Amino acid sequence: MPGWYADLVTYWAIPVLVALGVLAAALCAVRGNWRAGVGLGLDLWLAAGLLTLGVATPWTSIATVAVIVAVRHLATWSIDRAGAARQAGA
């Protein structure tokens, strides 16, 4: 989709979402709840990736979003699993 929408998403929305994700993860980590921060940061990263699909839909963009979703699910699964194992041992 050419035009102002593509420029808006590419140059403003995606960097802002990524920056908000990093900021949210850092703030949650400082407050001691880093697990929630990682999930929130990855959700905002996913939103930025999905916006990319609205601009252009070549296979590389679709593969990028698929990788983002896979990384998010693997990261949150491993964090939840480690937290559950720690609670069971305590």
**Segment 71-89 mean pLDDT:** 78
What's the pLDDT tens digit per position in 14-64?
788 788 878 888 888 888 877 777 777 777 777 777 777 777 677 777 787
pLDDT at res. 45: 76
pLDDT at res. 56: 65
The pTM score is 0.54
Task: Mark out the alpha helices in 4-58 (DSSP H runs).
Answer: 4-8, 14-30, 34-55
pLDDT at res. 14: 77
46, 20 in Cβ contact below 8 A?
no
Token pair for residue 11? 């140059």
pLDDT at res. 88: 75
Question: For 44, phi and psi rounded to 5 degrees?
Answer: -70, -35
pLDDT at res. 90: 59
